[in-house]
Chains A and B, each alone.
Chain A
Amino acid sequence: MPNLFDVGLVFTLIPQLLKYLPVTLELTAISMLAGLLLGLLLAIIRMKRIPVLVQLSTVFISFTRGTPILVQLYMSYAGIPLLLKYYNYYHDTGYNVNSIPSIFYVLLALSLNEAAYSSEVIRAALQSVDKGQIEAAQSLGMTYGQVLRRIILPEAFVVALPTLGNALIGLMKGTSLAFVCSVVEMTAQSRILAGNNLRFFESYCSLALIYWGLTILIERVIAYLEKRLDIDFRSMRKRKGDVIFD
């Protein structure tokens, strides 16, 4: 029986792929944060029905949900340089397309994609906060910004956390498409390694194990957060004198 599958290699390749873990994590974290902020903005625009912006956001969300993320990455990679060239042409500037790091195109596409999806989750969570608490906060003399930050968001966060956890996992796995913008993260690296030693399956097995592990890790973190946010748990901690989320 020839040595068709080298189990040992699967494990020796893992450290080589992990060198690119920071790129994957960076893509995930930044896109998630930017996506959530923009998603919150979109949610507020839609809840407050701000004219013009609400129509624009509806089209944006529909478009983003209606097109594959891979196509969005292609569009970002090909479209942004075009925009820059137009800008240079009309403003007589000389910005160099090559000075844009390729990771930017990925971050842009992933953030916008995340924003479109999370805006609906955020909107539902914001609307789940009962009006009574909002009125109580207003009656104390809080501004809308204060009510949002101090009362609505903390409550909505608890509601949205499980869904956002799943979104984070989806996003993390989605970074594996970054290679189409010439960004080398773990998936791209696995293809490079496989191209050298022609051990494609082993390389992809290593890669899969890492993603799997990461997903389990994120699930654990979310579960831990949910537990910490549980009212009875928080109350118990506070009675013991710990100050959390003060």
Chain B
Amino acid sequence: MIEIRGLTKSFQGHTVLNGIDLTIQQGDVVAVIGSSGAGKSTLLRSINLLEPADAGTIAMDELMVDISKRSRSETLELRKSTAMVFQQFNLFRQKTALENVMEGLVVVKKMPKDEARKIAAWQLSRVGLSDRVHHYPKQLSGGQQQRVAIARALAMEPKLLLFDEPTSALDPELAGEVLDTIRQTAVEGNTMLLVSHEMDFVRKVATRVLFLDKGIIVEDGTPQEVFAHPKSDRTKQFLANYYRDREPDFSI
């Protein structure tokens, strides 16, 4: 179980996270939606301390970290318990797909190379890249790169997977293959926190949807509740704007 309490963060006096409380149960697939600048990325990045919050606590099972008093080892522990998939993939350019996935296993988990190689090969086969293990990032399409990034994250067996708009840097054709991979990851029971602008996808895979606005969670419920019966006006407005801008390619 993951418990986030009172997460607060401001940039130059501008409050981006305003006392976020969030409890995530094991196996939850939590989608975070909200307009640009709402603080979605900041929320994810404060959970793995890439962007440490000013105040708040994060607990994952036995590990409990008070952000403002965190030690170096707590920072590392929290990062080891989570894994992140970035919008821009962020693969290691000097390493092959296989080496990208092996890196955390060997360096952070201190796993023998042979064992790490086996796990990495298996994870890459699961995202459909068995024939690309010795390719370097620049030799892969964006969709393939993002699937390597997902394999890299999954290989670490994190307690929480963080996805920050994993498909928004991709062409629609390539986004599909990545969304399929994420869906598979969700179905397998991984605990996930996912920022996405793909509402149809969110609707299908999320077990829970949060609507973040000005650093506050203003809506929290099942996809059905949030999409069909939003409580707040901000959510209604956001969804209306969203659907006005695109063809409705689904029906409720």
Question: Which A residues lie at the B interface, using CB under 8 A?
Answer: 132-133, 135-143, 146, 150-151, 154-155, 158, 231-232, 234-235, 238-239, 246
Contact = CB atoms under 8 A, between A and B. Distances in A.
Contacts of A158: 94
12 contacts: A132-B86, A132-B89, A135-B50, A136-B152, A140-B108, A141-B104, A142-B108, A150-B107, A155-B93, A231-B138, A235-B135, A246-B99
Contact of B48 (A133, A139, A154, A231): A139
The 10 closest A-B pairs by CB, nearest first: A141-B80, A132-B90, A140-B104, A136-B90, A238-B134, A141-B79, A139-B84, A141-B108, A231-B136, A154-B94
Interface in B120-142: 134-136, 138-139
A124 B188 CA distance: 44
B76 interface: yes
Contacts, number: 76
Contact of B96 (A132, A135, A235): A235
A234 to B, nearest CB: 7
Contacts of A155: 93-94
Given A138-B50, A146-B107, A133 B134 contact: no
A139 B51 CA distance: 11
A72 B48 CA distance: 49
A150 B108 CA distance: 11
A213 to B, nearest CB: 33
Contact of B90 (A135, A141, A142, A235): A135
Interface residues of B, number: 32
Contacts of A234: 136
A140 B83 CA distance: 6
Given A155-B94, A235-B136, A132 B80 contact: no
B64 to A, nearest CB: 17
B18 to A, nearest CB: 24
Contacts of B94: 151, 154-155, 158, 231
Which of B107, B113, B135 has the largest number of chain A CB atoms within 10 A? B107
A139 B83 contact: yes
A137 to B, nearest CB: 7
A235 B139 contact: yes
Interface string B91-130: 1111010010001100110000100000000000000000
